[in-house]
Every structure is written in C-alpha cells, then in structure tokens.
Amino acid sequence: MANSFDVIIIGAGPGGLAAGIYASRSKLNTLVIEKGVIGGQAATTEEMENYPGFYQGVTGPQLTEHMHKHAEHFGCHFVKDEVVDLELAGYEKAVITKKDRYTAKAVIVATGAEPRFLGVKGEKELKGKGVSYCATCDADFYEDLDVVVVGNGDAAIEEAIYLTRFAAKVTIIVIHDEGVLDATKVIQERAFKNEKIEFVWNSVLEEIKGDGIVEAVAVKNLKTGKVADLETNGVFIFVGTVPRTELVKGKVELDQRGYIPASELTETSVDGVYAVGDVRQKYLRQVVTAAADGAIAAVAAEKYMHEEENFKNEVLDKTRAVAVMFWSPFHQASLEMVPLVEEFAGQHSEKLDMVKIDTYRNQRIARRYDVQEMPSVLLFKGGEVVGRVTGQLTREKLEELAILG
C-alpha cells in the first residue's frame, strides 16, 4: 500500500466508517487510521434501540463491524496507528503517525470525544480500580455487587439500566429534585420500573474513597448540606464528553469548549479539512448523526478535489494569462455582465484564456481570493493574481486587465 491517498480519515467511529464507505465507493483512494478499537465509543454500547432499520435493537459492536466490512468491501484501507501530527496547509496535506507518514488531498477528522472527568477527590487515584466510564466495558466485574452511577442524561440512565444485568444494586446520584431526570421519557420510565435501581435526589458526589480500590463515596445533599458516606464497590461516571481535538489545536478553528466549528458540508476553517461526529459543534451527538456527517464529508471532499484539480489545471498551471470571472446565476448584475466578459476574452484569445466560477456553487475559491463583490474578474499569470476589476464592469476596465496580461 503506497502512502499517498485521495482521502485520509482519522478515526474509525461511525462518522469515520461512514466517510470511508462513501469515499471508497466513489473510487477515491481512502485510508482510515485508528489507534484504538474500530467503532469508537459506539463499539462499547451494548444496545441501540434508535438506529434506523433496527427496530429490535442492535449492539454497537455488531453495527460498527458491519460498517467496517462495508467500507472494506469498497476498497477502503485501514491502518492501526496513532496520528501524532498534521500538516494541513496547501493542497497536499500530510498525516504523520508513530509509524509512518501519509499524504492526501483531503483529511476528515473523526477523532470523537472522550468521557468528561468529574474532578472529585479520589477519582484520578482510583480510576481503573473501581472508577469507570464505560458500563459495557466493566459491568461484568461487578456481578452481584453494588455500584453507584453519577449522571442523569440518556447515557447515564441507559448505562445504569445495563449495569442491573450484573450488579445487585445500582444507585444513581441525581442533582435534580425527586423525579426529575435529563434523560428522554422512555428511558426514564424504564429506569423507574427497574427494581435494582435506587435514586439519591438533590445530591452530588463529593469524594470517592478507598485504599487502592473503591470502598465508598461521599454524597452531599444540596438542600440540607449534609454529607454522608455510601458504601459501594464501583463508581460509573457519565457527565458528558470532551472532544479529542488536541491534534488539530492551532491548525483549525476551535470553539471555547474545544469542538470544531463546521459548516453544513462539515468544512472546517481549513480548505480540504472536514470534521465529523462528536468532535464537531452540533446539536445532537448520536451514531446516526455521526454517520450522516461522514457521508456528507466524503461527498464534499470529492467535490472539493474535483474543483481544486480543475482550478489548478485551468488557471494556476497555465503559462498564458487567465481571466477568471466570479459570478452567480442568482446575481442579476453578474448575469448581465457575462456576455461582455466573454466578448472581451474572445477578442484577446491570442494572449489569455477565460474561466467562469459560479460563486453560489464554489464559495471556497472566491473566499480564498477575497472576492467580496460580484461580478469580479481576476487576472492570473503564473498562478498569481496580477490584476482585478469588480462591481460595474466596463470594456475600459477589462482592457486595463488585458494590458497586464
């Protein structure tokens, strides 16, 4: 396998796998790099009841394994390695791993998110010694034992329900008043009906105690201020996630929480770089939305590469001067100027070529060359802009460009 690809996808969660399927099916030479388990966080989910088409439910490992095989079926390559650096400037981008160096025309960041730490005393010291962030991974260690769950959203309550298959008792510590959870109603109802689940309302976990292993937790009642110890064998924490964006920090724009702002086409602030799944700003973080992101990113990357290749061949690599008209079919003034510019180009065909760029369909190149007004005509020579006219075009203005060519 050569080290040069059309698309490199960093991360093999549902977003990365969907991107791999769509990109490789489009005959793009595609590589997915994953340092951990293929499937990401989804691979640790015991049961999914809301993925379209699986009304009887499907496990995360089953679903992501199908997606993995689907991508491989279309020729997608997979490498188990850790990405340590990125070079994203320019058309050819580099992805540096611990073992190798790869290049690509487009990069899709699908690095996902990781559990957020609660930040209480004892958490760090007892992580892996009774403190866990994954019920699917660790539930079987607590057969017939008591465990505590911290959190009250969908993930926390679903994981608590799953833990009841193994544990003797599951105690959920909830910050809200009695009966109030942030989980969806159907999940709440299942939890309230489960005889193995108990709730501690209006409370927060203040400390995790134990000598080398979890033995108890200190729980504070927010209404009375009283702190009481609760004996337990394990603590499962589900208080949200933080994005894995350290790799792209300083290379693409991030928001205040560390997520990557991305457009409807999953475009980041860097041309040819896309963000999908839990790593990007979004309203809903679910397997189905990550998969949708991946599909969109792959299609957008293919379009990007096609447009960039055309622009390179028709404009940047030309030895002759090229007049590039930026216009839009939805901008009346630019529509009216098209015949004038075409006539001008025809009269000077011995010394320059003409290319038209529809800014409605290709805003990226317009932004790159700071085209803010339409119509605009930029004159390129040797791959560089040597002149421009904007706004109300006249033959006199265009003739000034011809002189520069």
Residues with a catalytic annotation lie at 134, 137-138
Please check whether residue 6 is in contact with residue 77, taking contact to mean a CB–CB distance below 8 angstroms.
Answer: no
- Structure-block tokens of residue 142: 């607590």
What are the residues whose beta carbons fall under 8 Å from the beta carbon of 20, sequence distance 6 or more? 9, 12, 30, 32, 71, 76, 294, 298
Helix axes 185-193, 154-163, angle to 10 degrees: 30
Sign of the torsion formed by the C-alpha atoms of 134, 136, 142 and 144: positive
The two most distant CA atoms of the chain are separated, in Å, by 88
Please check whether residue 237 is in contact with residue 208, taking contact to mean a CB–CB distance below 8 angstroms.
Answer: no
- Give the C-alpha separation, 285 to 268, whole Å: 18
Residues forming beta bridges with residue 237, ordered by sequence position? 150
- Structure-block tokens of residue 316: 């940047």
